[in-house]
Amino acid sequence: MSEYSIDYKRIVYGGYSLGGLAAVYSLSTIDIPSIVFSLCGSFWYPDFINYCKATDFKNKKASVYLQNGKLEGDKHNNILENAPKISTDLHSVIKEKLVDVTSVFDNYGHHENLEIRYNNLCIWLSEKLKV
């Protein structure tokens, strides 16, 4: 028993870009937190999609919010140019492995539309946390 009163159903973990990738990765390593979010996750990172496909996620009960832009990687001539397709594929993989997944795509690039993206996340979090 912990000396602190922790409501494990209200622990939230997430991030933007590489932090969003780390949040999704955490789903495969531990069965908490109960809410995970990723904004513009760097899912294009080499072999991350293959890792997710091959991994049996431990945190199957988490509520997950995934948001990416359809124009992420636009005007790049490297691995980033595939970011929208890889993100679409990753969203599908996560939805197959977990029960409560919200998948959102907007028509913006990686560093655009931030205020609306965060606002939408806050609305979703408020609903999940019932605040």
Q: Please report, for the domain that includes residue 97, its CATH number.
A: 3.40.50.1820
User: Is residue 120 one of the residues assigned to a domain?
Assistant: yes
pLDDT at 131: 87
Higher pLDDT, 102 or 79: 102
User: Is residue 1 one of the residues assigned to a domain?
Assistant: no
User: Is residue 12 one of the residues assigned to a domain?
Assistant: yes
In contact, 66 and 15? CB cutoff 8 Å: no
The pLDDT of residue 13 is above 90: yes
User: Is residue 3 one of the residues assigned to a domain?
Assistant: no
Does the pTM exceed 0.85? yes
Rounded-to-integer distance, Cα 111 and Cα 101, Å: 23
Written as six digits, the tokens of 100 are: 């409560």
User: Is residue 85 one of the residues assigned to a domain?
Assistant: yes
The parent domain of residue 50 ranges over 8-129
pLDDT, the chain, mean: 95
User: Is residue 82 one of the residues assigned to a domain?
Assistant: yes
| Domain count within the chain | 1
pLDDT at 1: 53
User: Is residue 2 one of the residues assigned to a domain?
Assistant: no
Strands 100-106 and 12-16: unpaired
